[in-house]
């Protein structure tokens, strides 16, 4: 019988074996982790809602299904959902005051599919308000702390998911990635996180920030666990018109493929000014490991990368300004007290309900779409987006994957960048291009600098998630960065 | 000064799909408030639109019927503005890439002449909900049943030159969408709504005057009145030294006037941009070919065929082709009696006035096309005269059975036995011996006038049943010996 003190260190794959061999039940595991969340989360603030009752009920149901002969790998697997996936009857806040009282009347497709696979939902995880941020400091529910250093940010916007997994409160969770919101917090907390190809995972029930960029994906400690989650999350959904009707690869089977002959591209633009030289060294060390596994390396160029951030900060706010119009105090969410008329109702509900970063992006987006500015901003940004896409298409004619740092810097101090939003925006410089192009990207642990994790990012052509997971898994077979736990957790 | 009116119309036609344009909710009119509003229609966070393929098919039908180019790739865009009955804070519409491009529609005016009206474009969009301001004690209620109902917005060129032409155009669009089966055309329920852009300019001037837009005019009669009123207002304004301002106005049918709703300066900046939740709609040629093959005969084609095949006048053909149901009825009558002219006369005459009087649609006609055709057959074979036929028609309308049954039961069969007619005429002449004397003493001109008197007496004596042709012939012979 496994001790409670060990269960939290297990990966999803290990949990699956233990549950199959009846070393413990899903209910025992769930109760252990719920106790751990209760004990440790106050230090981190990773959870917005802990769903004990639901979790126990789902765990019991999973145990019953197993007793009846089922043996799915995710049956009884404890997970958490970023708090922008709608969960029926449970608050879905998006980290915002404006949705503090919002209980969705339905489940997101991702939530529904994972539940059908037998996962147990321990709670809803903290995030930057409406997924706008790279530090998880814009949440109405307060900042999330990085388990590797509680004075530092965990990254964002999926900061709650990242902190909870890194602190072993959960083995895995869902996240969403609009400009790096899965990969950047994964890098800052020593996790593996995958942003799938745009259209691979349904957006139905995932509250929109920037619809053409948003994509849900898995976060976990290992590539194998990401493969497990993705297998259940991904796939065509008729309820999402941008979902792609293409069969899924066998992500688990792909993990074990040898890397001999793998062509890795290193974009010179990813190693220029702005990158912490120690991060550069760590990234190059990971390249050496991959070479030992048979990969070849080539320098490539993504010439339009420098335009990615300005382009993103037009397109994403433009879409957000429209997507967030529905939060108007009329049908759901926060409504100001005693509105004198309709205009007052709108103005105060939104002014009081949204935080500063959300307001900033709504204003930027509204401006960018205004008559007279549309061509100069929105249209131009879309043209840049096409150029960035073409850069990747051209690059992938020469290489199989692109490798580089996930972030230019390590986790920064809480509050450090509050006065200068642009410096925070620049932290997404390496991740944003994948969202603009729609290609899949993965972040994986690649070492530590002064006790803080470093992430490597891998990018692949459309729908080649299996390749990314394969490379990361093979790397994780010969390294143990991803197995290291923060002190005190 | 002589003024010329310039009118362009925007018609919103609710498409007769079973479900909404972006959700699976039903579109039935008149349901309990908010019982036909799904998560998508409510704009719930996280919900996404899925385009209804039937709405696309209907838009293509319309496009093909007006000979327009169908965009091989059309794009939905968001029109952003805040209003309580607009749940998402934007209306999903089409802006730069509408599904239907330039086309035209030929309209027939009252004098029988035709005019070609250009159609700039037609695009798909979703309808908003309804705000209800009564019964809520200082608050407003919102009914989202209508939110998401598919609309086809049909935008005309500024080719229309009078209120009468505008009405003819709207009637032609109305007939067309009903022919195509893409809109029920029920204006009272808002299935077809019209915005009128009206301006005036001195006759002969090339550039347009400043226009005002009259929103949501919902009947043919109001369109005519609203435009006439607006034209008068603009002319008086200019002649008094004023200037027309670009604005949106509302027509008040109770007061028969338009009043300002908002000026151009107060207009929203809608911040249109392509909707990222919907992919561009790609229309394949094979799909268009299939839709084209499914098109019914259209009003214009039907009108031409009626003229060509049945020798009807342009006016008659136009009236009969105005609705598919009326045209079908007429053709059914004709199929039964094989006399298009008689069929047309009866459908446009007795039948129409009956329907008008009873306020019935042709589908509700108490006299079926077969009944009417059967009656016309009896006129043609001289069983009854035209005059008796009117009695038979009334009896059919009252539900007394087929023409044959009524003729039989009421003994209305025309008398054609010349022996019987002759003896009846002998009696008539005997009873009017004095007039017979006068007749015989008169000249040709006077005789002509007097002849009518004898015919009248004879018909009266036969209770209308004597064959009028025989009466004429035999009477003449007897009088002139």
**Which candidate, A323, A316, A339, places its Cα nearest to that of A96?**
A323
| Mean pLDDT of the B131-142 span | 84
Top pLDDT among B374 and B262 is at: B374
Q: CB-based contact (8 Å) between A276 and chain B? A: no
Whether residue A149 is contained in a domain is answered as yes
A389/A395 Cα distance (integer angstroms)? 10
Q: How confident is the model at residue A204 (pLDDT cuts 50, 70, 90)?
A: very high
Q: Could you tell me the residue range of the domain that residue A231 belongs to?
A: 4-259+442-483
A307/A318 Cα distance (integer angstroms)? 17
Whether residue A133 is contained in a domain is answered as yes
Q: CB-based contact (8 Å) between A207 and chain B? A: yes
For B51, nearest residue in chain A (alpha carbons): A241
Given a cut of 60, whether residue A1 has pLDDT beyond it is no
Q: How confident is the model at residue B267 (pLDDT cuts 50, 70, 90)?
A: confident
**Contact list, B273 vs chain A (CB under 8 Å):** 318-319, 322, 369, 374, 378
Whether residue A73 is contained in a domain is answered as yes
DSSP labels for A207-234? --SSTTT-EEEEEESSHHHHHHHHHHHB
| Mean pLDDT of the A200-206 span | 98
Q: Which pTM value belongs to this model?
A: 0.90
Secondary element (H or E) of residue A74: none
Nearest-CA distance from B238 to chain A in Å?
Answer: 31
| Mean pLDDT of the B149-158 span | 98
Q: What is the pLDDT of residue B241?
A: 94
Whether residue A448 is contained in a domain is answered as yes
Token reading at A334: 């926060």
Nearest-CA distance from B287 to chain A in Å?
Answer: 20
**Residues of A designated catalytic:** 82, 157, 181
Q: How confident is the model at residue B441 (pLDDT cuts 50, 70, 90)?
A: confident
SS3 B9: strand
Q: How many CB atoms lie within 10 A of CB B454?
A: 22
Given a cut of 70, whether residue B37 has pLDDT beyond it is yes
State chain A's maximal CA–CA distance in angstroms: 70
Residues found in chain A = 489
Q: Which residue has the tokens 């095949």?
A: B309
For A330, nearest residue in chain B (alpha carbons): B84
Residues with Cβ within 8 Å of residue B247, at least 6 apart in sequence: B212, B213, B260, B261, B262, B263, B264
Residues A180 and A428: beta-carbon distance below 8 Å = yes
Task: Note the pLDDT tens digit of each residue in A401-422.
Answer: 999 999 999 999 999 998 888 8
Strands A78-82 and A172-177: parallel
Q: What is the pLDDT of residue A2?
A: 65
SS3 B6: strand
B215/A268 Cα distance (integer angstroms)? 59
Top pLDDT among B385 and A448 is at: A448
SS3 A443: strand
Task: Note the pLDDT tens digit of each residue in A259-302.
Answer: 999 999 999 999 988 899 999 999 999 999 999 999 999 999 99
**Contact list, B279 vs chain A (CB under 8 Å):** 241-242
| Mean pLDDT of the B308-317 span | 91
Token reading at B312: 């009807």
Split into its structural domains, chain A has a count of 1
- Pairwise CB contact (< 8 Å): B82 & A328: yes
Given a cut of 70, whether residue B274 has pLDDT beyond it is yes
Cis peptide before A157 (omega within 30 of 0): yes
Q: What is the pLDDT of residue A305?
A: 94
Mean pLDDT of all residues belonging to chain B: 93
Given a cut of 60, whether residue B62 has pLDDT beyond it is yes
Given a cut of 70, whether residue A318 has pLDDT beyond it is yes
- Pairwise CB contact (< 8 Å): A241 & B88: no
Given a cut of 90, whether residue B275 has pLDDT beyond it is yes
Residues B327 and B321: beta-carbon distance below 8 Å = yes
For B91, nearest residue in chain A (alpha carbons): A322
Residues found in chain B = 481
Topology of the domain covering B418-480: Arc Repressor Mutant, subunit A (1.10.10)
Tell me which long-range contacts A16-25 makes (C-beta under 8 A, separation of at least 24): A16/A73, A16/A74, A16/A75, A16/A77, A16/A228, A19/A66, A19/A75, A19/A76, A20/A66, A20/A71, A25/A59, A25/A63, A25/A76
Nearest-CA distance from B162 to chain A in Å?
Answer: 34
Q: How confident is the model at residue A185 (pLDDT cuts 50, 70, 90)?
A: very high
- Pairwise CB contact (< 8 Å): B269 & A238: no
Q: Which residue has the tokens 């993103």?
A: A312
Q: CB-based contact (8 Å) between A416 and chain B? A: no
**Which candidate, B1, B420, B394, places its Cα nearest to that of B234?**
B1
Nearest-CA distance from A314 to chain B in Å?
Answer: 12
Q: What is the pLDDT of residue A3?
A: 66
Task: Note the pLDDT tens digit of each residue in A222-231.
Answer: 999 999 999 9
Mean pLDDT of all residues belonging to chain A: 97
Substitution target from B22, B25, B46 for chain A, most A beta carbons within 10 A: B46
Nearest beta carbon to residue A211 from set B45, B142, B276: B276
B457/A56 Cα distance (integer angstroms)? 103
Token reading at A63: 């145990």
| Mean pLDDT of the B250-270 span | 85
Whether residue A35 is contained in a domain is answered as yes
Residues with Cβ within 8 Å of residue A396, at least 6 apart in sequence: A402, A460, A461
- The answer for A 14-43 residues in CB contact with B (under 8 A) is none
B40/A351 Cα distance (integer angstroms)? 25
SS3 B398: coil
Q: CB-based contact (8 Å) between A88 and chain B? A: no
Domain extents in chain B: 3-290, 297-410, 418-480
B214/B260 Cα distance (integer angstroms)? 9
Nearest-CA distance from A435 to chain B in Å?
Answer: 14
Whether residue A320 is contained in a domain is answered as no
For B43, nearest residue in chain A (alpha carbons): A326
| Mean pLDDT of the A111-124 span | 98
Whether residue A62 is contained in a domain is answered as yes
The CATH number linked to A160 is 3.90.1300.10
- Pairwise CB contact (< 8 Å): B47 & A204: yes
**Contact list, B46 vs chain A (CB under 8 Å):** 84-86, 92, 104, 108, 203-208
Share of chain B above pLDDT 70, in %: 100
Residues with Cβ within 8 Å of residue B106, at least 6 apart in sequence: B114, B115, B116, B117, B172, B300
Q: How confident is the model at residue A5 (pLDDT cuts 50, 70, 90)?
A: low
Residues B355 and B365: beta-carbon distance below 8 Å = yes
**Contact list, B50 vs chain A (CB under 8 Å):** 238-241
Q: What is the pLDDT of residue B379?
A: 93
**Which candidate, A109, A105, A111, places its Cα nearest to that of A125?**
A111
């Amino acid at each position: 019988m496994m001790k409670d003190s060990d269960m939290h260190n297990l990966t999803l794959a290990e949990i699956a074996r233990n549950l199959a061999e009846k070393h413990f039940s899903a209910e025992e595991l769930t109760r252990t982790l719920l106790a751990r969340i209760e004990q440790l989360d106050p230090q981190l603030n990773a959870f917005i809602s802990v769903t004990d009752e639901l979790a126990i009920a789902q765990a019991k149901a999973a145990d019953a299904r197993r007793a009846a002969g089922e043996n799915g790998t995710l049956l009884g697997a404890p997970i958490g959902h970023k708090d922008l996936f709608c969960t029926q009857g449970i608050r879905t806040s998006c980290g915002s005051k404006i949705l503090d009282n919002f209980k969705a009347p339905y489940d997101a497709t991702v939530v529904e599919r994972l539940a059908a696979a037998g996962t147990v939902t321990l709670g809803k995880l903290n995030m930057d308000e409406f997924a706008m941020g790279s530090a998880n400091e814009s949440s109405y529910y307060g900042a999330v702390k990085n388990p590797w250093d509680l004075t530092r940010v965990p990254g964002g916007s999926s900061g709650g998911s990242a902190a909870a997994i890194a602190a072993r409160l959960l083995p895995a969770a869902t996240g969403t990635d609009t400009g790096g919101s899965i990969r950047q917090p994964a890098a800052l907390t020593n996790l593996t996180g995958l942003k799938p190809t745009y259209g691979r995972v349904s957006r139905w029930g995932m509250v929109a920030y920037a619809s053409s960029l948003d994509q849900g994906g898995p976060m976990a400690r290992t590539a194998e666990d990401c493969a497990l989650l993705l297998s259940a999350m991904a796939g065509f959904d008729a309820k999402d018109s941008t979902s792609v009707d293409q069969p899924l690869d066998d992500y688990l089977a792909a993990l074990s493929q040898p890397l001999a002959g793998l062509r890795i591209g290193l974009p010179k633009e990813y190693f220029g000014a702005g990158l912490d030289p120690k991060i550069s060294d760590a990234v190059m060390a990971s390249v050496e490991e991959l070479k030992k596994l048979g990969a070849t390396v080539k320098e490539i160029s993504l010439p339009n990368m420098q335009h990615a951030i300005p382009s993103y900060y037009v397109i994403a706010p433009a879409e957000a300004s429209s997507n967030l119009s529905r939060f108007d105090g009329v049908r759901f969410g926060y409504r100001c007290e005693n509105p004198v008329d309709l205009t007052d109702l709108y103005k105060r509900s939104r002014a009081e309900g949204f935080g500063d970063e959300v307001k900033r992006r709504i204003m930027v987006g509204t401006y960018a779409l205004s008559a007279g500015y549309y061509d100069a901003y929105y249209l131009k940004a879309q043209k840049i987006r096409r150029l960035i896409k073409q850069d990747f298409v051209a690059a992938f004619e020469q290489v199989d994957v692109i490798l580089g740092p996930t972030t230019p810097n390590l986790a920064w101090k809480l509050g450090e960048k509050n006065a200068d939003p642009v410096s925070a925006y620049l932290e997404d410089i390496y991740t944003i291009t994948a969202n603009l192009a729609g290609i899949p990207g993965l972040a994986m642990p690649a070492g530590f600098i002064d006790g803080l994790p470093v992430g490597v990012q891998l990018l692949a052509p459309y729908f080649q998630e299996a390749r990314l997971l394969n490379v990361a898994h093979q790397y994780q077979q010969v390294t143990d960065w991803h197995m290291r736990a923060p002190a005190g957790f | 000064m002589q003024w010329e009116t310039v009118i362009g119309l925007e018609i919103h036609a609710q498409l007769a799909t079973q479900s909404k344009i972006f959700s699976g909710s039903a579109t039935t009119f008149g349901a309990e408030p908010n019982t036909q509003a799904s998560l998508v229609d409510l704009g719930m966070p996280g919900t996404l639109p899925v385009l209804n393929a039937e709405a696309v098919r209907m838009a293509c039908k319309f496009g093909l019927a007006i000979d327009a180019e169908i965009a091989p790739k059309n794009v939905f865009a968001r029109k952003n503005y805040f209003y309580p009955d607009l749940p998402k804070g934007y209306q999903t519409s089409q802006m730069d890439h509408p599904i239907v491009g330039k086309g035209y529609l030929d309209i027939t005016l009252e004098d029988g002449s035709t005019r070609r009206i250009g159609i700039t474009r037609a695009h798909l969009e979703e309808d908003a909900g309804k705000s209800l301001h009564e019964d809520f004690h200082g608050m407003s209620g919102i009914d989202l049943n209508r939110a998401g109902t598919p609309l086809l917005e049909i935008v005309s060129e500024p080719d229309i030159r009078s209120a009468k032409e505008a009405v003819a155009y709207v009637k032609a669009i109305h007939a067309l969408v009903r022919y195509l089966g893409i809109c029920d055309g029920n204006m009272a329920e808002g299935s077809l709504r019209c915005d009128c852009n009206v301006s005036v300019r001195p006759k002969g001037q090339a550039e347009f005057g400043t226009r005002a837009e009259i929103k949501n005019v919902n009947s043919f009669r109001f369109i005519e009145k609203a435009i006439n009123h607006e034209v008068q207002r603009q002319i008086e304004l200019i002649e008094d030294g004023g200037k027309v301002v670009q604005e949106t106005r509302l027509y008040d049918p109770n007061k028969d006037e338009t009043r300002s709703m908002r000026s151009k300066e107060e207009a929203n900046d809608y911040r249109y941009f392509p909707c990222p939740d919907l992919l561009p709609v790609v229309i394949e040629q094979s799909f268009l070919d299939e839709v084209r093959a499914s098109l019914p005969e259209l009003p214009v084609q039907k009108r031409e065929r009626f003229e060509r095949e049945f020798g009807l006048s342009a006016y008659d053909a136009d009236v009969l082709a105005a609705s598919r149901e009326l045209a079908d009825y007429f053709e059914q009558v004709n199929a039964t009696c094989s006399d298009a002219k008689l069929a047309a006369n009866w459908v446009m005459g007795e039948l129409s006035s009956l329907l008008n009087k009873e306020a019935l649609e042709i589908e509700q006609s108490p006299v079926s096309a077969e009944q009417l055709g059967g009656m016309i057959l009896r006129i043609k074979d001289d069983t009854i005269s035209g005059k008796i036929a009117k009695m038979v028609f009334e009896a059919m309308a009252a539900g007394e059975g087929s023409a044959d049954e009524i003729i039989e039961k009421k003994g209305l069969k025309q008398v054609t036995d010349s022996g019987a007619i002759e003896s009846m005429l002998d009696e008539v002449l005997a009873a009017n011996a004095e007039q017979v004397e006068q007749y015989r003493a008169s000249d040709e001109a006077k005789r002509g006038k007097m002849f009518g008197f004898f015919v009248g007496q004879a018909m009266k004596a036969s209770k209308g049943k004597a064959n009028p042709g025989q009466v004429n012939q035999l009477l003449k012979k007897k009088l002139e010996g």
